[in-house]
Amino acid sequence: MSGALLEAKGLCKRYGALVANDNISLTVAPGELHAIIGPNGAGKTTLIGQLTGQIRPDEGRILFRSEDITDRGMPARVQFGLSRSFQISSIFPSFNAECNVALPIQAKAGHSFRFWTPAVVIESLRGPARELLGRVGLGERGATRASVMAHGERRQLEVAMALASQPSLLLLDEPMAGLGAGESARMVAFLKSLKGRFGILLVEHDMNAVFALADRISVLASGRVIVSGTPEEIRSSREVREVYLGEEFDA
Ligand SMILES: Nc1ncnc2c1ncn2[C@@H]1O[C@H](COP(=O)(O)OP(=O)(O)O)[C@@H](O)[C@H]1O
Ligand SMILES: [Mg+2]
């Protein structure tokens, strides 16, 4: 019993001859923000996909609160408290922000709503949906259609949708991608405000964000974790500098 919220043990994923994930083991403690960095093609998105249940590992096990969830599908993992954010595709563009957040709230509540009429359900979801929108800084945007929102606002909306399932672990795949400087800074501040309350596994290219937020950083290269340590240890690691040779790395 490790006390970890999430524990990945020896995850492997191959695509033909290509080894996308090669024996990856890592943990996320309750309340910890563990960042995954690594060059393009290192296997970061494949790792997140295996943790959410989107991609089936060839080898290895995934434990959530010490329970083996390797054979569980995505909906079951969400019910357990694991939530992935930043899938643009999860937004319904023609729905307003409030409805987009109400859907995952209802999904989580599931059949507890079965005796109520749709009108009552909608009314009882509205309050929590508004509250979540307020928490991500979209308090004024509830009635706005997702399709007309700015890119940064849609990312905030996705966080609200991820939080709607009341997760204890958030898996975030490049939440800063495509954000302008101001939007990025706001997202960093927001993620900071979530720290401690959720376990967070954060895949991110923005090194400033990673070093500002992470309790622990693991570096992936060619499908393997090559180093794992505190931000200080990663900053001074020779292996990390070698992997990032030719790329800007002066965090
Ligand atoms: N569905 C797939 N089919 C074949 N190769 C894939 C597939 N998904 C990812 N890969 C390959 O696996 C490697 C790791 O990809 P990925 O996990 O997306 O890396 P990262 O997110 O770190 O950029 C890459 O070489 C990529 O081309
Ligand atoms: Mg990726």
Q: Any idea where the domains of the chain sit in the sequence?
A: 1-81+167-251, 92-166
- Token look-up 């043990």 returns 9
d(CA 104, CA 162): 8
Q: Does residue 48's CB lie within 6 angstroms of at least one atom of ligand 1?
A: no
User: Quick one: CA dihedral 170, 174, 180, 181, positive or negative?
Assistant: positive
pLDDT tens readout for residues 193-248 = 888 889 999 999 888 899 999 999 999 999 999 999 999 999 989 888 887 765 55
Pocket test for ligand 1, best of 13, 14, 18, 243 (most atoms within 8 A of CB): 18
Question: Please, which pLDDT band fits residue 249 given cuts at 50, 70 and 90?
Answer: low
DSSP labels, 97-119: HHHHHHHHHHHHHGGGGTTS-HH
CATH number of 1-81+167-251: 3.40.50.300
Pocket test for ligand 1, best of 11, 12, 15, 19 (most atoms within 8 A of CB): 15
- Percent share of the chain, pLDDT over 70: 90
Nearest residue to 146 (alpha-carbon basis) of 209, 113, 111, 102: 102
Ligand number with the minimum distance to the CA of 86: 2
Q: What is the mean pLDDT of residues 57-86?
A: 89
Nearest residue to 243 (alpha-carbon basis) of 221, 223, 225: 221
- Closest ligand 1 atom to residue 21 Cα is 14
Gap from CA of 45 to ligand 2 centroid (Å):
4
Nearest residue to 14 (alpha-carbon basis) of 50, 39, 68: 50
Q: Does residue 115's CB lie within 6 angstroms of at least one atom of ligand 1?
A: no
Give 115's contacts (C-beta < 8 A, 6+ positions apart). none
- Token look-up 């709503």 returns 113
Q: Does residue 38's CB lie within 6 angstroms of at least one atom of ligand 1?
A: yes
Q: What is the mean pLDDT of residues 7-26?
A: 98
Q: Does residue 41's CB lie within 6 angstroms of at least one atom of ligand 1?
A: yes
pLDDT tens readout for residues 72-88 = 998 888 888 888 765 55
Q: Does residue 42's CB lie within 6 angstroms of at least one atom of ligand 1?
A: yes
Question: Please, which pLDDT band fits residue 190 given cuts at 50, 70 and 90?
Answer: confident
- Closest ligand 1 atom to residue 173 Cα is 21
